[in-house]
């Protein structure tokens, strides 16, 4: 079977020749090869059944800091300077209805910060309900040109599938525009403000999905880790606020005959059944303890017949800091639990990281090939 056939067969809950192998590898490729492109992935990792993620193409000025902003009705003042190891970015957006400002400290890539360090916002754009009208002016028009997918299709051929990333209303959207702790308090203190802010970005995410699907996307990669129970949201609030948003994402995706891959690299045990009931086609990353709380055997029994489980192998304590023997043992046990009947893609709890021993990576792929074969 080809990688593409293997993945699609698995999603139908049929048994392919072997379990698809699709760990997240972008951070490792960036660190080791200086390049996390699809071409590099296909060259360096021939055993991958690639599920490659591409951005949907709309500039996000909430969490990026370009030299030039394409906002015709907004004057942007931006100052960048060094503060020790950090690059500090201070911005003011002068809109027709008010001024928004923020301040961000960006650590350098590599060293103790890791290859993909998270920026630190010391001032957020949205501070009060009155800021929402101005916020709308700094949101770039949603991209509708997906001609770039053709180049990716030519590269990947039959070795896998392409997924277009669309983030939730929170992920690098409302959760970066306003401090997450403040957002959690807004739910109780000013529910209208909370709903309005999320509503702006949720509608935008639906517009992005629609544009991607009309542009030929076959898979939507839905990024929801800001919504995770690991971020501090309760299961009750998750069910009330976020579940309807997930349903809308999935319903729109399915209306175009496409697949929806739901991404949360945090705790899933108390939310997995709710998520799967929305109709998601893939649930990842199924992170086990100690980082997550995912019990693969429990999940296979409770939701394994409804969705495809993807991920599971711990990138840190197993693949980076473990031994080849531990890697093999972990993969073998995962295959014994989740391989039967299809509906399982062996992957990782997040991207393999810099400094991961080559012997452990070799052990991972060898074990996946060895123990993933169907009789």
In a domain, 134, yes or no: no
pLDDT at 116: 74
Residue with tokens 């971020």: 231
Considering the domain architecture, whether residues 264 and 148 belong to the same structural domain is answered as yes
Considering the domain architecture, whether residues 104 and 148 belong to the same structural domain is answered as no
Residues 6+ apart with CB under 8 A from 63: 119, 172, 176
Measured between alpha carbons, how far is 364 from 348 in angstroms, rounded to an integer? Answer: 10
Please give the chain's pLDDT, 375 residues, in tens: 999 999 999 999 999 999 999 999 999 999 999 999 999 999 999 999 999 999 999 999 999 999 999 999 999 999 999 999 899 999 999 999 999 999 999 998 765 556 778 899 999 999 999 999 999 999 999 999 999 999 999 999 999 999 999 999 999 999 999 999 999 999 999 999 999 999 999 999 999 999 999 999 999 999 999 999 999 999 999 999 999 999 999 999 999 999 999 999 999 999 999 999 999 999 999 999 999 999 999 999 999 999 999 999 999 999 999 999 999 999 999 999 999 999 999 999 999 999 999 999 999 999 999 999 998
In a domain, 334, yes or no: yes
In a domain, 53, yes or no: yes
Enter the pTM of the model: 0.97
CA distances from 129 to 96, 134, 264 (A): 16, 10, 29
**CATH number of the domain residue 278 falls in:** 3.20.20.210
In a domain, 86, yes or no: yes
Measured between alpha carbons, how far is 274 from 269 in angstroms, rounded to an integer? Answer: 10
CA 187, chain centre distance (Å): 24
In a domain, 68, yes or no: no
In a domain, 69, yes or no: no
Considering the domain architecture, whether residues 188 and 319 belong to the same structural domain is answered as yes
Measured between alpha carbons, how far is 107 from 88 in angstroms, rounded to an integer? Answer: 9
In a domain, 131, yes or no: no
3-class secondary-structure state, position 287: coil
pLDDT at 112: 59
Of 114, 225, 115, 235, nearest in space to 180 by CA: 225
Residues 6+ apart with CB under 8 A from 352: 23, 24, 25, 27, 28, 315, 319, 320, 361
Considering the domain architecture, whether residues 113 and 192 belong to the same structural domain is answered as no
Considering the domain architecture, whether residues 93 and 211 belong to the same structural domain is answered as no
Considering the domain architecture, whether residues 39 and 88 belong to the same structural domain is answered as no
Considering the domain architecture, whether residues 201 and 247 belong to the same structural domain is answered as yes
pLDDT at 375: 84
- State the angle between helix axes of 191-214 and 243-255 in degrees (0 to 180), rounded to the nearest 10: 20
The percent of the chain in helix, strand and coil, each rounded to the nearest 5, is 45, 20, 40
Asked if 313 contacts 346 with a C-beta cutoff of 8 angstroms, the reply is: yes
pLDDT at 111: 59
Considering the domain architecture, whether residues 248 and 348 belong to the same structural domain is answered as yes
Considering the domain architecture, whether residues 84 and 183 belong to the same structural domain is answered as no
Max Cα distance, the chain (Å): 66
Half-sphere exposure of 315 (CA within 13 A, CB side): 22
Q: How many structural domains does the chain have? A: 2
- Gyration radius of the chain's alpha carbons: 21
Considering the domain architecture, whether residues 195 and 299 belong to the same structural domain is answered as yes
Considering the domain architecture, whether residues 183 and 150 belong to the same structural domain is answered as yes
In a domain, 94, yes or no: yes
Measured between alpha carbons, how far is 236 from 334 in angstroms, rounded to an integer? Answer: 30
The neighbouring-strand residues paired with 92 are: 77, 101
Range of the domain at 241: 3-58+142-371
The long-range contacts involving 113-121, CB below 8 angstroms and separated by at least 24 positions, are 113/85, 114/27, 114/353, 114/354, 115/27, 115/30, 115/31, 115/353, 115/354, 116/26, 116/27, 116/30, 119/63, 120/86, 121/176, 121/179
Measured between alpha carbons, how far is 63 from 65 in angstroms, rounded to an integer? Answer: 7
Considering the domain architecture, whether residues 114 and 231 belong to the same structural domain is answered as no
pLDDT at 115: 73
């Amino acid at each position: 079977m080809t990688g593409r056939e293997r993945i699609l067969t698995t999603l139908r809950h049929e048994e392919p020749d072997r379990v698809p192998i699709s760990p997240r590898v972008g951070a490792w490729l960036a660190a080791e090869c200086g390049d996390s492109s699809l071409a590099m992935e296909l060259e360096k990792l021939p055993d991958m059944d690639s599920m490659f993620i591409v951005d949907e193409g709309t500039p996000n000025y909430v969490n990026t800091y370009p030299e030039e902003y394409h906002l015709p009705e907004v004057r942007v003042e931006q100052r960048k300077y060094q503060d020790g190891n950090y690059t500090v970015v201070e911005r003011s957006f002068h809109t027709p209805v008010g001024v928004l400002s923020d301040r961000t400290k960006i650590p350098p890539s590599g060293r103790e910060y890791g290859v993909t360090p998270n920026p630190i916002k010391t001032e957020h754009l949205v501070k009060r309900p009155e800021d929402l009208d101005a916020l709308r002016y700094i949101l770039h028009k949603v991209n509708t040109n997906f001609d770039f997918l053709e180049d990716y299709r030519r590269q990947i051929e039959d070795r896998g599938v392409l997924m277009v990333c669309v983030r939730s209303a929170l992920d690098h959207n409302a959760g970066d525009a306003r401090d997450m702790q403040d957002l959690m308090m807004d739910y109780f203190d000013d529910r209208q403000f909370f709903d309005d802010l999320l509503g702006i970005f949720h509608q935008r995410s639906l517009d992005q999905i629609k544009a991607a699907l009309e542009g030929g996307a076959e898979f939507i990669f839905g990024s929801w880790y800001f919504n995770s129970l690991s971020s501090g949201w309760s299961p009750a609030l998750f069910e009330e606020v976020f579940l309807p948003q997930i349903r809308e994402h999935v319903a729109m995706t399915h209306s175009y005959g496409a697949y929806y891959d739901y991404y949360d690299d945090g705790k899933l045990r108390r939310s997995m059944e709710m998520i799967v009931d929305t109709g998601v086609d893939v649930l990842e990353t199924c992170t086990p303890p100690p980082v997550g709380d995912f019990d693969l055997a429990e999940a296979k029994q409770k939701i394994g017949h409804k969705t495809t489980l993807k991920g599971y192998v711990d990138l840190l304590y197993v693949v980076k800091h473990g031994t080849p023997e531990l890697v093999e043992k972990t993969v073998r046990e995962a295959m014994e639990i989740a391989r039967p009947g299809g509906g399982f893609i062996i992957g990782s709890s997040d991207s393999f990281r810099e400094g991961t021993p080559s012997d452990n990576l070799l052990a991972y792929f060898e074990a996946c090939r060895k123990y993933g074969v169907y009789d």
